[in-house]
Structure 1
Amino acid sequence: MKPFSEVGGRANLRREWVMLSLALLCLVTWLCASGTLRRIDHLVQDAGMRLNALPAHPDIVIVAIDDRSIEAIGRWPWRRALHAQLIEQISAQSPRALGLDILFGEEDADYPGDDLLLARALERSGRAVLPVARRDLGSRSAADAPLALLRRASAQLGHVQVQVDPDGVARSLYRTEGPQDALWPHFSTAMLCAAGRDLPDCRGNAAPAGGPWARRDLQILRFAGGRQPAFTTYAYIDVLKGRLPAGALRDKYVLVGASATGLGDMFAAPMASQAERIAGVEMIAHALNAELAQSHIRPAPRGWEMGFNLAPTVLALLAIVLLGPLAGLMSCTALFIGTLAAAALAPTLSGWQLAAAPAMVGVTMAYPLWSWRRLSAAAYFLQLEMRELREAGLSPLPEEPPRPLLRGDVLEQRIHAVEDAARRLRRLHHFVSDSLQHLPSPTFVCDAQGHVTLANEAAQRYVQARYSLQGQAIGRLLAGLVQPHGNAPLLPRNGEQMDAIPPQQEGRDAYGRDMLMLCKPFTQDGNTIWLVTLVDLTDMRRAQQQRDQALHFISHDIRAPIASILTLIEMHREFPEQLPQQELLARMERYARSSLAMAQGFVQLAGAQAQTYQSAPFDLAAALEEAVDGAWAAAQEHGVEVHTATLPDAAPCHGDRSLICRAIANVLGNAIKFSPAGSTVRCALASEGAYWVISVRDQGPGIAPELQGNLFQPFKRLHEGSHPGVGGVGLGLALVQTVVQRHGGRVQVNSSSGVGAEFQLLLPRPHP
């Protein structure tokens, strides 16, 4: 089956991600440049303004021409003499600056003398500011300035234009505005100029200049928070009547303007509710409040705003492709919230107002668009996989239930189809895996370097490992498997020589088992895989050895004594005087007993090799004491003392007690036979690691190292030349080795010629 990358699926997916990213970034760039989402930007920015509102400056005071004043004085407009009187009342308290947000662009035709009274009041105040408005004259704009008499009497002039956005909310103003040749500062800046501040924009009461209408330095209003109105406000009628506390206006910035219903300009502002409007004089107060706090917020430069919107979109696109579905979703959510927070805090932290709506749209669209493309790619992948499975001809296993009908939409059908195919593959995998695991022979599957990738239960038991064999070097696991006539291992310890391994070879492990190792390489997806199987030939070799021993026993060992008896009988018949009957019977008895001993030893060895052991728990210390007691008579006959070291209180062991006692007795009997009179045979039992060790040491002639290899071969009598008087048929030690090895142990010999011999029987201790 071809991987998804080979059919171009992954490359197409990366290509689609690049195209989707470019399209989304182009969309964000267009939204940022066109201002299409300006209303959403205003919502975010207004929320940020409310969170970061300025406190109202206590030195700003509004004298409002409110409904109560209209009711007390009469309908608007009022006589300018009243305004002059108000100015005198305010000036008497020495304010820092006095601003009249009232247009005086025409002479008072009804009361011509009132203009002079007002001019004198303005001049005596010395800190009065009068407004300048813009008048639209069709194709051009002109200044609606105060009368020249009043203009010259004022200290400063300031424009009162406020920028109203398309949604009808006033959020900004230009710091300077007017005819191009001489721009007026905003009314709030003019108030600072009248208070004595030396600012670059101060123009005093200069006459209007010529040129087209111009404006510069757009500034975002940062409104004062709290209850509305936010500033200290007194009614016009109360100030006119002198009802204010003494010093209420001292060193204050006093603004006089209309707030009555239907009188003057009313604006919607971010800080006001939908049912409320802010009078023009209050807008001036908010602007003056920002000036006093030196909080100047301006729209961010176009390049910075573009980068601010593109950066979260790029990060969102990278997150969803690098971090995965869940982490990508969480990253997009964090980027969305972070963009909102940055846009809300930017005016306070940097003095720039940023539009965040394009970035919010980009981050919001990135995840669903990419999820849609991934879903489409997944559906396409499932379709390809199903086609590959159909072409591969995946056959059902025996007794497999019928497949359910596929329902739902296209993707769901493909998912169900792949689930069905995956279920069949899993069943097939389990079938193959279970078949391998239940093979009776140890089986290893290795890579080209000789590392195990799979091993069955029989292999796990063979190497006696309680851990996983995966990744282990097979040469190290089977290091104890060596050639039968040497110590060279059958497998190399490293995997570089795996190609040189013969297809089959025989060896012998540390427990004396004869094993046939079969090695078969095969190739899968260009990789060489080795299948190594071990076949236990021990029973077959034992049966073959028993057959050979039986033939040898029948043809030689049993035949020789019988032939000797027949020869004696023939000699007695022909020469009775040379062989008396008494000597004949003695010799026949000796040959008969020798044949009987050989037959008995052979039967015992054959039984130890072939019969099924009656395994049961027993005390090995007691078995050793029993064997020592049984050898007492033979020791007394040979004049040998048997000494047993202090035994453990208990030596639990598991096996066939009678055979183990016979093996101990054979070793002890050999030690007594070959020990000279007056010597000592020492027996001991100790625990060493996972084994019980029974040691029997004599003081006999010893065994040369070159002869020790034949000690345990049946019918081998190594002492015939050196001790011809010692009887034996050469089967005792063969039985010892057979019994010990079949119990999972081993026999060790420590000896050299002339210094005696020590035989050690190592039997495994039972697991706790």
Structure 2
Amino acid sequence: MTRDNTLTFRSFEQYVLALTLVVLSGLLIYTQLPERLNLIVYDFAIRLSPQTAEQNTAIIAVDEKSLDALGQWPWRRSNHAKLIDQLSNANTKAIAFDIIFAEPDLNHPEDDAAFASAIERNGNVFLPLHIHPRSNETTLSEVIPIPELTAAAKNLGHIHVELDIDGIARGFYLKEGLGEAYWPSMSLALAESTHPDIALSLEQTSSDKEEVAAFVNVREGYTMIPFAGSAGTFPTFSYIDVLNGDVPANQLDGKVILIGATAAGLSDVLPTPVSGLASPMPGVEIHANAYSALVQQATIQPLQLKWIYLLTFAFVLIPVLVLPRLSPEQALPATLILISAVFLFSLAVLFFDQHWYPPASAIIGLITAYPLWSWQRLSQLNKFLNNELERLHHEPALTVRNLAQRPVKQLMSGLTAMLKPDAYLLLNEDTVIDSLHRKKLTRPKRLTPYRWYHKEHCSWIAFSREHKTYEIGLYWDDLQEIEKKRTFLERLKINNIARNRASAFKRYEKIASRIAQVRLAIDSMGDMRRFISDGFENMPNGVIVTDSLGIVLFINSHIEQWLNLPKQSVEGQPILNVLQLSQSTNRPNSSTDYRQQDPDWETIIHKVLINGDSNIAELTLGERDLMFHFVPSSASAPGDAGMIINLSDVTSIKQQQRERNQLVSFLSHDVRSPLVSQLAMLDGLKTGRMKQEHDTFDKLGHHAHRSLHLAEQFLQLNRAEQVNDSQFYECDLLTIIENSVDSIAQQATKKHIEVTIVDTDELWINGNAELIERVVINLLSNSIKYSDPDTSIKLSLKAADNRAILSIEDHGFGIEKDELPYIFDRFRRQKTSESSGPKGAGLGLNFVSIVIEKHHGSVEVESELGKGTTFTLKLPIEQGL
């Protein structure tokens, strides 16, 4: 065997052994086989350093003493009402029940009302809910308090406590619910109410939430509780003592009170890390511990699964670097030291970072690594890592996009350019680096690093760069948009968590540093790939990339949609075939022969790929007008060159051109015609060809009114097209209808047409009252205009499915069935009505359609020739009114 073959064989061995360690530790994590060992370590750590109990938290216990005094459970709810009143008089901060009130008190229904009234008077009472099947034959359901209690409570919170595989309660989910995790835990609801300034955020494991069935319990934000001690740690008062006023008010003043059962056989007692199976803890005290930890920001979060894998893999690969550097007699002590280091690391992360890292999988991996690895194998692995790092460092990378890597001055200039503060200040320690109107800013006494501090007009943040501390202060005079700006600031990542953790690894072992370097390099390449892919995908235009032979390499989603071809059938095909196929399968809905207008694709592609010339072509596919931009692409290697085709949707531009042509045609005929008639009649009066008779002036007035009416319709149409949701406001639809009827009353009276409003009630919508009133007036005017005298028009208004439904029914001429689909088109005139009645411009119903569409509604029409027409408008009702 040659030297090269020996090296290759050794590299292969090292790869297999390293893979074995990674797969073993990964399987241990995935199967959770050593989970009981992890929980033993966790319980030891919790007992080693218990959390301090929050001093303003107390428990009112339903204990044996209270049962002896008040009788058998459950008690009358009037007792709970009296208790709440006692606590209200004692000026407690908040009250939370760990008692389910899911059923009404049928024996004493007045007690439910008294209990709800007491809750409402207090204003800070929280009630529990529970999620469980109501019977063995039913699915999960949310058991919530009765409606009157739910309405009176400040908030509801679930009281579920999670049990681990050994039956011990160590944590709970911050939110859970059926179909969607929208119910906060009782402790979270309390903490958010009593300490709104504390940031209580869920650590999401994924940004994409899968849709689940409505009967599936969805839970988020699993949080572990650092218990303050065994049962009885928190101040506990007997229910009957508080009820009778035997507890001094000063002992309850400003307290957060949790009310629950502690009596034997009545309470939901659970074993905990600090109590074990021998001395379980009542559920109400577990919630007190959870609330105490939340408000002190001392809750423990399990590390995200990816970090558990990465840290475990890093630990089990440490022997690959350490053991070959030691003598054989030093290998076993070194392995024991590594195992101890993993254990201490887990404790350090728990105590200092409030995250739980389960160490058992890493420890088992280290024990397994000791007999497997050798000096030669580690040497080959080390060489491989060095070679890969060198190769990755030479790969192209994006310009720095992480804000944590930006120079401080560049970061400051970007913030001021984006947010336009009226004053700002950049400090290094106490040295001013940059400022504007600095006297407006008041520097806070203390700032939490990497966390924005907002107060009134100011926002501050402190951060470190290269062992130097910087502070940025921003000030705005106008508070109108300040919340949006602060939300934007909170999204910015000023610190780089990944780099900080990578630097922390360096303090332990070199192999972790190298793994971190490989990871950063791979992240850089992945960032480059995602940047390019996302850039193409999120472009507003369609993109096709081909190689030098015109074979399609990539298309984005717009191409799939516009060409109506699946991505799998396009990639790998010659671009000429793709264009011809899309052209044949997406013909416009028209009888016009488009074959003479089709581009010569073959000539265009040859010019681009062979001659290196750019080209442009236009094509109509279906109802979409597309513009093709063909551009040759170059590369460092000649064989990698190809072509990029950019498709732009110019349908709206083409439509505007068509509408502009229609407008010109309309102006040249309909608007010009009455003006020409007026001029002719005026000229006839001036020259004496026409006599100044009464009907002459009536005709002049008619033509002038027609011109004015056309101009008004154009103005209304233009205004309707420009309106948006920001111009909407709350308005009463019934008032709009009544105003509209008043506006056309004189017109209806002339033709002896009765206009009635029936089955109406006050309905509020969010919209533009003036435009909607014009819509109703247009429809009523048309009904009067195209109806015989001595008929009637009926308007009705009702609500259904959160929508207001307005119907306008007349007994006029009616509309032909073949004309109904087109009556809302611009400049569309009905043949029957136009030939037998007044002539219109074809803009009124188009205006109606545009306004209703802008209000997110719909308009429907039913008509029968000779019997009448009914227009139905459907508009969304403003919620909460």
Same fold (TM over 0.5): no
Higher radius of gyration, 1 or 2:
1
TM-score bracket, shorter-length normalisation: 0.3 to 0.5
Report the TM-score, using the length of structure 2 for normalisation. 0.39
The structure whose RCO (Cα within 8 Å, separation 6+) is larger is 1
Report the TM-score, using the length of structure 1 for normalisation. 0.44
